Chain A
Amino acid sequence: EPEVTQTPSHQVTQMGQEVILRCVPISNHLYFYWYRQILGQKVEFLVSFYNNEISEKSEIFDDQFSVERPDGSNFTLKIRSTKLEDSAMYFCASSVVRVVETQYFGPGTRLLVL
């Protein structure tokens, strides 16, 4: 069964460093999402992406964040200058159509900013 994959599974970085989290969505899906979950808290929406552009973003998704689909398979989330409060589990998700259908989530990348 096709699934969303994410790399790396864990990332430790120093405050102020740039990180890139990578995702490979399910191949026939057209909508892509990033969510994050700070330890012990809710899963929060960051951004959705369709047709090579951001279609919606949350207040969390400020200028430090960017997303890109550099080729036909990868979908990346870049944090330019990490802060301690960026430490969280980051989930990529994809769906065939918009949110009225199921979003399929990857296993997540656990980011720790020191």
Chain B
Amino acid sequence: SQQGEEDPQALSIQEGENATMNCSYKTSINNLQWYRQNSGRGLVHLILIRSNEREKHSGRLRVTLDTSKKSSSLLITASRAADTASYFCATDDRGQGGSEKLVFGKGTKLTVNP
């Protein structure tokens, strides 16, 4: 099964606008994490939301999780040019009973224009 499919694939906005990215997944999860990747660089952990949480905030980031719809969204408020990056959601796979791997989506490429 495919986990962590983000949409849109690409998003271009102006500085100061909000950016919303969505992620859908297929199996039961313990948690869902969002990562950022600047072009050709490493993965930076942004936020983790557990399956019993519905919303979480961290600075300009707001993450929601709807386990009934198996979906999550990442909202970046008041975006800056420095937010330009690819954003990935990643899930564990509780359905695989103790699997340790993170399963990543293809990511949303966000461009924030100054």
Contacts and interface: CB of A to CB of B under 8 A. Distances in A.
Interface of A: 31, 33, 35, 41-45, 48, 55-56, 58, 89, 91, 93, 98-108, 110
Most B-side CB within 10 Å, residue of A31, A98, A102: A102
A41 B86 CA distance: 12
A108 B100 contact: no
A104 B114 CA distance: 30
B45 A99 contact: no
Nearest to B33: A102
A85 B31 CA distance: 32
Secondary structure type dominating chain A contacts: strand
Interface string B72-114: 0000000000000000101010000011111111110000000
A23 to B, nearest CB: 12
B12 interface: no
Contact of B101 (A48, A89, A101, A108): A48
A31 B35 CA distance: 19
Given A107-B41, A107-B42, A102 B100 contact: no
B45 A103 contact: yes
Given A105-B45, A106-B42, A42 B33 contact: no
Contacts of A106: 42
Nearest to B50: A100
A110 B39 CA distance: 13
A100 B92 contact: yes
Contacts of B41: 107-108
22 contacts: A31-B100, A33-B102, A42-B106, A42-B107, A43-B88, A43-B102, A44-B104, A45-B101, A45-B102, A55-B100, A56-B99, A56-B101, A91-B42, A91-B43, A100-B92, A102-B45, A102-B48, A104-B45, A105-B43, A105-B44, A105-B45, A108-B41
